[in-house]
Chain A
Amino acid sequence: MLKDVTLGQYYQTDSWMHRLDPRVKLLGTLSYIIILFVVNSVPGYLVCGAFLLVCVLLSRVPFGYILRGLKTIMVLLLITVLFNLFLTPGEPLVSFWKFTITKEGLTFSIKMAVRLIFLIIASTLMTLTTSPNQLTDALESVLGPLKKLHVPVHEISMMMSIALRFIPILMEETDKIMKAQMARGADFDSGNLINKIKAMVPLLVPLFISAFRRANDLAMAMEARCYHGGEGRTKMKPLVYRKGDVGAYGVLCAFLAACIVIRVMGV
């Protein structure tokens, strides 16, 4: 059923990775992605790969789930690799018809592929082990300092969290309106592109009207429950670092340092 669709792809289980403070996971993933582009040698990638493997094992998420994340961007990955493979100038290795594979192209495309695969696995792992709720909380907390620059951090995270709550409801509504129009003979599948776009009007107009009505109702319900922005607000589930989280930061720092050392030493 459509109502079961959740945004992101949270995998519910109890693991060390799941229990980790979402801020650790958010900052960890970001720094991991950056460091992927800092290292550029085989030992460097080996260290990155090993680190990722340990994280995956600690998450107790089946490998299949993680690979599924890769599948969706396979096309993008292939295009990137092929472009780099054929279009990088340098010392030719093989050449056929109009294409030439260079040594530089080969190493560069392998590097890009490894980086992209690691990047995707790392971010998939984060969304698999962190509920969307925790992620918005973490974002609000991590971006907190930006409030001083008048960035509406609380509002952004409230918007994200409301969006997450209403996406399943709107999906269900889309399904209902679609069926209601089909009962009036509407056809959403056949015809050329222009006809298909035209056929969306009877679906989109009611959907927008309903979304606005819901937004209006919700705003009123929030006001009635004393909502007045982030000021003076307390938290039911405040983010608090525990010992394990501090340890995790330590491990993360050690890993980052190792990668930087590898890069600087040019191993």
Chain B
Amino acid sequence: MEIVKTIKLIHDYIVRDEEGNETGKVRAIDGVDLDVAPGQFIAVLGHNGSGKSTLAKHLNALLYPTEGQVILDGFDTTDESHLWDIRQEAGMVFQNPDNQIIGQVVEEDVGFGPENMGVPTKEIWERVEESLKAVGMWEFRKKSPNRLSGGQKQRVSIAGVIAMHPKCIIMDEPTAMLDPSGRHEVIRAARALNQVEHITIILITHYMEEAIYADKVFVMDEGKIALQGTPREVFSQVDRMKELHLDVPQVTLLAHELRKAGLPIPEGILTSRELALALGLQPKETGSAWD
């Protein structure tokens, strides 16, 4: 069974004038069908305004469908009797690192979710310890969040979600406000959770580098899914990605240019090693910048 499933999901935002009268509607999501199997690492790419953040908020019952359905681990998100089950099973990490940390001390923030769920005190402490260790922030447990870097704050937010023992974590542009090293930290933590703890990850982003390691990529445009497939399938459509105002990896772009110039290179090259092999060279084992 899918952990996350949306069926013909439609979401309209109502536009109001200054007096609060309804003046129109904007369709942010327009018939999206999403299937995510447990344990997958999913990336949702799209430029700003493509509807990807609205989609994220549906998966945690922070928004409800105008039409269609969202099913999370068998629960329909409109079923209020399971609201807290849904929010516990589908954790959310948001974009702004400052605006989602509630506690004044790192460990207290991580304990916030379990406290709300009514977890006994002793178990809260166990969960806080395992969660902070999972994201490598254990030694910062007594610090004030204000003293941490952006990447560290986002890892604390991730720990706060893990402490709720979710089956799936939805990350809504968690790296958009971070510097390159912060982005690296967060993506590494997300990949580790997926590989070690087998937590399903749905990563919403506009940085294509972060989508390379996903099992499946969905590209959104104007509220619809414009492209989907493995990273290779998606990034091999260089021209289509450019139309959608998205980047493809530089090496994919280079391979694309070489192919256009007549070299016999397949589309969808994702690493310099693959490019070297395609050119008939013997690549040396070197680490890529993202490993």
A–B direct contact (CB < 8 Å)? yes
A136 to B199, CA, bound (A): 36
User: Which of B100-108, B227-235, B240-248 lies at the binding interface?
Assistant: B100-108
Q: Is B209 interfacial (CB-CB < 8 Å)?
A: no
The answer to whether the Cβ of A232 comes within 8 Å of any Cβ in the partner chain is yes
- Choose one: A222, A228, A235; the contact of B102 (CB below 8 Å): A222
> With A133-B108, A223-B62 as given contacts, are A214 and B164 in contact (CB-CB < 8 Å)?
no
- Docked pose: A228 CA to B161 CA in angstroms: 16
Pair A220/B146 contact, Cβ less than 8 Å = no
Q: How far is the CA of A39 from the CA of B111 in the complex (A)?
A: 46
Q: Is B92 a contact of A224 with CB atoms below 8 Å?
A: yes
Tell which of B84, B96, B102, B124 touches A234, judged by Cβ atoms closer than 8 Å: B124
Is the C-beta of A225 less than 8 angstroms from some C-beta in chain B?
yes
Cβ contacts under 8 Å, B94 to chain A = 217, 220-221, 224
**Interface flag for B119 (CB, 8 Å):** yes
- A69 contacts the other chain (CB 8 A): no
In the assembled complex, how far is the CB of residue A188 from the closest CB belonging to chain B, in whole angstroms?
Answer: 25
Q: For the side of the interface on A, what is the size category?
A: 20 to 34
Decide: B146 and A3 in contact? CB cutoff 8 A. yes
B102 touches A236 (CB 8 A): no
State how many angstroms separate the Cβ of B14 from the closest Cβ of chain A: 17
Residue of A nearest to B57 (CB): A220
Closest to A237 in B: B108
Cα(A228)–Cα(B80), bound, Å: 13
A161 at the interface (CB under 8 A from B): yes
Q: Which residue of B lies closest to A136 (CB)?
A: B104
> Which residues in B have their C-beta under 8 angstroms from that of A233?
115-116, 118
Q: Interface-forming stretch among A24-32, A80-88, A164-172, A196-204?
A: A164-172
| Cα–Cα distance between A42 and B94 once the two chains are bound (Å) | 62
> In the complex, what's the smallest C-beta–C-beta distance from A177 to chain B, in angstroms?
15
Interchain CA distance A169-B117 in the complex, whole Å: 28
Bound CA span A222–B108, Å: 14
Q: Is the CB of B146 within 8 A of A226?
A: no
Asked if A238 lies at the interface with its beta carbon under 8 angstroms from chain B, I say yes
Residues of A within 8 A of B101 (CB): 165
Q: Are B124 and A236 in contact (CB under 8 A)?
A: yes
* In the bound complex, CA of A217 to CA of B161 (Å): 16
Q: How many residues does chain B have at the interface if contact means C-beta atoms less than 8 Å apart?
A: 40
Assess whether B99 is in contact with A236, with CB atoms less than 8 Å apart: no
Residue from the list A161, A214, A227 in contact with B99, Cβ < 8 A: A214
A216 — nearest CB in chain B belongs to which residue?
B99
A225 CA / B99 CA spacing, docked (Å): 13
Q: Is B119 a contact of A165 with CB atoms below 8 Å?
A: no
Q: Tell me if B150 is interfacial: C-beta within 8 Å of chain A.
A: no
| Residues of B with C-beta under 8 A to A132 | 104
Report which residue of A164, A226, A232 has the largest number of chain B beta carbons within 10 angstroms of its beta carbon.
Answer: A226
Is A162 part of the binding interface, using a Cβ–Cβ cutoff of 8 Å?
yes
Q: Is A218 an interface residue (CB 8 A)?
A: yes
- Minimum CB–CB distance from A209 to chain B (whole Å) comes to 14
Give every chain A residue within 8 A of B118 (Cβ-Cβ).
Answer: 232-234
Partner of B116, one of A165, A168, A227: A227
Q: How far is the CA of A218 from the CA of B146 in the complex (A)?
A: 15
- Cβ A221 vs Cβ B124 within 8 A: no
Give the residue name and chain of the B residue nearest to A228 (CB): B116
Docked complex Cα distance between A40 and B87 (Å): 59
* B121 is an interface residue with CB less than 8 A from chain A: yes
B104 pairs with A133, CB closer than 8 A: yes
Contact B87 A223 (CB under 8 A): yes
Contact of B46 with A by CB under 8 A: no
Complexed CA–CA distance, A235 and B105 (Å): 15
- In the bound assembly, the distance between CA atoms of A214 and B98 in angstroms comes to 8
Given contacts A221-B92, A226-B84, contact A236 B100 (CB under 8 A): no
- With A220-B94, A238-B121 known as contacts, the answer to whether A225 contacts B113 (CB < 8 A) is yes
Asked if A217 and B146 sit within 8 Å, CB to CB, the answer is no
One of B87, B96, B108, B145 near A217 (C-beta < 8 A) = B96
In the complex with contacts A161-B104, A236-B124, A236-B125, A225-B116 CB distance below 8 A: yes
- Inter-chain contacts of B121 with A (CB < 8 A): 234-238
User: Does B114 count as interface, using CB distance less than 8 angstroms?
Assistant: yes
Across-interface contacts of A237 in B (CB, < 8 A): 108, 111, 121
Interface contact B146-A169, CB-CB below 8 Å? yes
Hey, which chain A residues are within 8 Å of B98, CB to CB?
A: 169, 214
Considering the complex, give the chain B residue whose CB is closest to the CB of A223: B62
Report how far A169 CA is from B107 CA in the complex, Å: 19
Query: Contact string, B5-42, partner A, CB cutoff 8 A, digits 1/0?
Result: 00000000000000000000000000000000000000
Can you list 30 contacts pairing A with B, beta carbon distance less than 8 Å?
A: A132-B104, A168-B146, A169-B98, A217-B99, A218-B100, A218-B102, A221-B100, A224-B87, A224-B94, A225-B87, A225-B91, A225-B102, A225-B160, A226-B84, A226-B88, A226-B117, A226-B164, A227-B116, A228-B84, A228-B116, A234-B114, A234-B118, A234-B121, A234-B124, A235-B115, A236-B111, A236-B114, A236-B115, A236-B128, A237-B111
Residues of A within 8 A of B (CB): 3, 132-133, 161-162, 164-165, 168-169, 213-214, 217-218, 220-228, 232-238
The 4 closest A-B pairs by CB, nearest first: A236-B111, A217-B99, A221-B100, A224-B92
